[in-house]
A and B are shown apart, each in its own frame.
Chain A
Amino acid sequence: MAQQNTTPNQAEPSAVGEYAIECRGVTKRFGTVVANDGVDLTVRYGEILALLGENGSGKTTLMNMLSGIYHPDSGSIRIAGKEAVINSPEDSMALGIGMIYQHFKLVDVFTAMDNIALGTPGRRLPARELRTKVEGICKGVGLTIDPAKRIYEMSVSEKQTVEILKVLYRGQKILILDEPTAVLTPQETDKLFAILRRMREQGCAVIIITHKLGEVLDISDRVTILRRGKYIDTVNTAETDEQQLTELMVGRPVSLEIDRPEQGELNSILKAVDLTIRKPDGAIAVDDVSFEVRTGEILGVAGIAGSGQKELCEAIAGLYPAEKGAVLYRKENLIGKNPREISRLGVHLGFVPEDRLGMGLVASMGMVGNMMLKTYDAPKGPFIDTAPAREQAEELVDKLSIVTPSVDTPVRLMSGGNVQKVLLGREIVSKPSVLITAYPVRGLDINSSYTVYDLLNEQKKDNVAVVYVGEDLDVLMELSDRIMVLCHGKITGIVDARTATKDQIARLMVGGKEEA
């Protein structure tokens, strides 16, 4: 496979470091699906390797084989120069591999120290000794953490730090991180990268799995690219750029420009006034916010995950109670009404929730069943009418080139991109005047993401008021007309996306004041 490279020699590291991991021709099949097809991957001690690929390209499968969850059907894996068979996560740990998953494996009620010591072989160190040791490790890589703090009191970034400490404490020299920046603020990402660089200096081998090109270029020494389970290439980071990486990843030249059509008729259509939302546990989710949504533009919503985006969207859609304030659609207050009452008011509200299969769609039903989710009640009498829904579903399949064996195949069996097309497509078919989308491209491959951007822009051109809640600042800045930034439920600023800078928004995300 490697021989297909156009620049094969550049791909091999020039440094003299020993291979920490050396995978050759690793193949893994699930039934008829080939998840990994002859994949080569090498990483040396003292090197950061980025593993790049779209969703479904086989990154996670490969990592699961390194961590002992799956077994390769063929091919060899060598760890520290020796042939290895990894039968279980225990084996993997013993071989010096530390995995950091997107979902942390920590005991919430334990302290950082307890979590770090948990599951390590041998007798447990006395608390003081343990503390000294942990603090020593922290100092070594420039980490700051209070070893006595309990996990449930920690921020996401602190939890990630604990995970890294766990790896270091066990003396594991190979660190694999699965999409580690997805949950971090830009500042936290920078901090993480600084730590990773320190670890590299100390001779660790690091693999970082990601699909964010900017990060790849920022942190890695080399990049290994997978596409649809196949090994494509390994390139030196210094000798590549975003365009080349995207082409390798997607398999054809892709324009990375996101269109931003001119704004349409700007009429205020939805107005939030002094809106305050409290979660069931009493915490404030949205804190006294006021803003307006206008037709013919895309309002981007930026913010660290959990800053109140979800509650805000759901409150507007009639799915979450508000404590105070109003959401006015023309003259009607939507707060206190359920979705059906809202739609009876003549409000055409489209909503693409964050949880697509758990809220926006019925996972076990096919497209037909899902198309009528909001309209099943329309025909008179006790019976449902599937004929129009079937027609709509078939139209949608054609229009958005949705890949599905049939319109009756349960949507949970469809790929993430196709699921989102069904959901977004249905909301658009209902001809909304306001379209709220929460993280609509999360987990989607580049092609699907661009389909989504195009669809949203089309809506904007049709004078629909579009709300786009996103996590990727680059996308937000290219797609939106205005960006509203949330921090701890408060609006810290609403900026013009055409003129704002990334730094400015990043500052607002962590509560900085908007600078005039």
Chain B
Amino acid sequence: MLRVIKTEEKTAKQMMIIRLAAFVLALAAGGLFILALGVNPLKVYGTILSGAFRSKMAVQATIKVMIPMLVAALGVTLAFKMKFWNIGGEGQIIMGAVFATYFALYHADWPFFILFPVMLIAGIVGGGLWALIPALCKVRFGTNETLFTLMLNYIALYLVAYLQEGPWRDPAANGFPKIPSFAASATLPKVLGVQMGWIVALVLTVIVFVYMRYTKHGYEISVVGQSQATAAYAGMNVSRIVLRTMFLSGAVAGICGMLQVSGSDKTLTTGVAGGIGFTAIIIAWLAQLNPFGSLVVAFLFAILEKGSSVVQSDFGLSTDCADVLQGIILFFVLGCEFFIRYRFVRDNARKAAAVKGGEG
């Protein structure tokens, strides 16, 4: 008989070993899955790596995939540090993108150096306001933020669908429902071959790190996240902190949306968030809510994503298989958190027999 018991706190080194072991196990389990599909798993893993790094262009593409993941994870980090379960990254990305797109479509005549900051601010406002709605309801009426933020995702998504079917539909598209492509003034230039969003993402990483670690606001977030009673005890205005932090969390997600439309997609589509709002949660969590950790984890996810897509075309594996593979890796890596806190012990068989004698 196996039993679960809580273990003492592990050292950082032990935790690293457990996580590494989980990763290796995940590769092994994923390998079995690939083998079952009749493909050599070693080759597939090799392809994932080479697919992400084989050429300058591949590396650039990998970094491009990483940008939205990283920025969205930074947004999630702010809210999660406060234990505000913001599952609405998806919607906040979309609303940031929608607000930014407005200026891209209707003020394309402005020069880039004006349009860029305006779109950036629009993205911040769009994402921030969208996140403020559930925060307000939480503070005012005690609503459940998890469900609320989740539901807002769908509203945002269908708003984009409405815009591309209706008011913002490209008249030149022969009836195909799409929003026009942005003018050059509304698109981000490339720096070192990748859209300049990567600079924004890196700067944001540092800003979020400093904000959380060294500012009064960051301190307040930590305290509120630990215990609202403690925060009130310390004289903090918990409601204001919740509202402010959620605005910022949404704002960062909004920046992610803005970077996507203006740096990558060069138009607004319903696929602008494409699940990144959810992936970001996993990234932020795996990174233990550390912004630089998110940088590393987002990069690993980008490798997996980019590499899997090459696996799809090279081995004829469906993209769904790549998703299964990602799922397996996540399952193991997240599952190992269990072993950081608990362990199994085996009961002594001899003693188990003895209990019968003790009865009666």
Q: Are B347 and A87 closer than 8 Å at their CB atoms? A: yes
10 contacts between A and B (CB under 8 A): A31-B8, A83-B357, A319-B232, A338-B232, A339-B233, A353-B233, A359-B229, A374-B234, A377-B216, A384-B219
* CB neighbors of B among A72-121 (8 A): 79, 82-87, 91, 94-95
B355 beta carbon closer than 8 Å to chain A: yes
Q: Are A339 and B215 closer than 8 Å at their CB atoms? A: no
- Interface size band for B: 20 to 34
Q: How far is the CA of A87 from the CA of B229 in the complex (A)?
A: 39
B13 beta carbon closer than 8 Å to chain A: no
Interface segment out of the listed B154-162, B220-228, B313-321: B220-228
Q: How far is the CA of A376 from the CA of B233 in the complex (A)?
A: 13
Q: How far is the CB of B82 from chain A (nearest CB, A)?
A: 13
Interfacial residues, chain A to chain B (CB-CB below 8 A): 30-33, 71, 79, 82-87, 91, 94-95, 317-319, 338-341, 343, 351, 353, 355, 357-365, 369, 372-374, 376-377, 382-384, 413
Q: How far is the CA of A82 from the CA of B9 in the complex (A)?
A: 37
What 1/0 flags go to B203-232 for Cβ under 8 Å of A? 000000000001111111011001101101
Residues of B within 8 A of A384 (CB): 214-216, 218-219
Q: How far is the CB of B61 from chain A (nearest CB, A)?
A: 38
Knowing that A339-B234, A360-B230 touch, tell me 8 more A-B residue pairs with CB under 8 angstroms.
A71-B348, A319-B229, A340-B235, A359-B227, A359-B229, A362-B230, A363-B227, A369-B222
Known: A358-B227, A363-B226, A384-B216. A374 touches B235 (CB 8 A): yes
Residue ID in chain B nearest A382 by CB atoms = B215
Residues of A within 8 A of B352 (CB): 85, 87
B7 beta carbon closer than 8 Å to chain A: yes
Q: Are A358 and B229 closer than 8 Å at their CB atoms? A: yes
Q: Are A383 and B230 closer than 8 Å at their CB atoms? A: no
Q: How far is the CB of B108 from chain A (nearest CB, A)?
A: 36
Residue ID in chain B nearest A341 by CB atoms = B235
Q: How far is the CB of A361 from chain B (nearest CB, A)?
A: 7
Residue ID in chain B nearest A78 by CB atoms = B358
Contact count A vs B, C-beta below 8 Å:
106
Q: Are A358 and B230 closer than 8 Å at their CB atoms? A: yes
Known: A83-B357, A91-B355, A363-B226. A351 touches B233 (CB 8 A): yes
B56 beta carbon closer than 8 Å to chain A: no
Selected contact of A339 from candidates B217, B220, B232, B347, CB within 8 Å: B232
Residues of B within 8 A of A351 (CB): 233
Residues of A within 8 A of B214 (CB): 383-384
B1 beta carbon closer than 8 Å to chain A: yes
Q: How far is the CA of A67 from the CA of B359 in the complex (A)?
A: 14
Q: How far is the CA of A318 from the CA of B236 in the complex (A)?
A: 12
B351 beta carbon closer than 8 Å to chain A: yes
B191 beta carbon closer than 8 Å to chain A: no
Residue ID in chain A nearest B232 by CB atoms = A319
Q: Are B7 and A365 closer than 8 Å at their CB atoms? A: no
Q: Are B223 and A373 closer than 8 Å at their CB atoms? A: yes
Residues of A within 8 A of B217 (CB): 382
Residues of B within 8 A of A95 (CB): 358-359
Q: Are A84 and B358 closer than 8 Å at their CB atoms? A: yes
B354 beta carbon closer than 8 Å to chain A: yes
* CB neighbors of A among B98-152 (8 A): none
B237 beta carbon closer than 8 Å to chain A: yes
Residues of A within 8 A of B357 (CB): 82-84
Residues of A within 8 A of B227 (CB): 357-359, 362-363
Q: How far is the CB of B208 from chain A (nearest CB, A)?
A: 14
Known: A339-B232, A360-B230. A413 touches B9 (CB 8 A): yes
Q: Are A362 and B222 closer than 8 Å at their CB atoms? A: yes
Residues of B within 8 A of A372 (CB): 219
Q: How far is the CB of B102 from chain A (nearest CB, A)?
A: 31
Of B217, B226, B237, B347, most A-chain CB atoms within 10 Å: B226
Q: How far is the CB of B5 from chain A (nearest CB, A)?
A: 8
Known: A71-B347, A362-B226. A87 touches B233 (CB 8 A): no
Selected contact of B233 from candidates A317, A363, A364, CB within 8 Å: A317
Q: How far is the CB of B328 from chain A (nearest CB, A)?
A: 31
Q: Are B355 and A86 closer than 8 Å at their CB atoms? A: yes
Residues of A within 8 A of B234 (CB): 339, 373-374, 376
Q: Are B358 and A365 closer than 8 Å at their CB atoms? A: no
The 5 closest A-B pairs by CB, nearest first: A84-B358, A340-B235, A85-B351, A339-B235, A359-B229
Q: How far is the CA of A435 from the CA of B268 in the complex (A)?
A: 60
Selected contact of B359 from candidates A94, A341, A355, A377, CB within 8 Å: A94
Known: A79-B358, A362-B223, A365-B222. A376 touches B230 (CB 8 A): no
Residue ID in chain B nearest A360 by CB atoms = B233
Residue ID in chain A nearest B8 by CB atoms = A31
Q: How far is the CB of A279 from chain B (nearest CB, A)?
A: 15
Q: Are B216 and A382 closer than 8 Å at their CB atoms? A: yes
Residue ID in chain A nearest B6 by CB atoms = A30
Of B215, B227, B233, B348, most A-chain CB atoms within 10 Å: B233
Residues of A within 8 A of B1 (CB): 87
Q: Are A376 and B219 closer than 8 Å at their CB atoms? A: yes
Q: Are A319 and B355 closer than 8 Å at their CB atoms? A: no
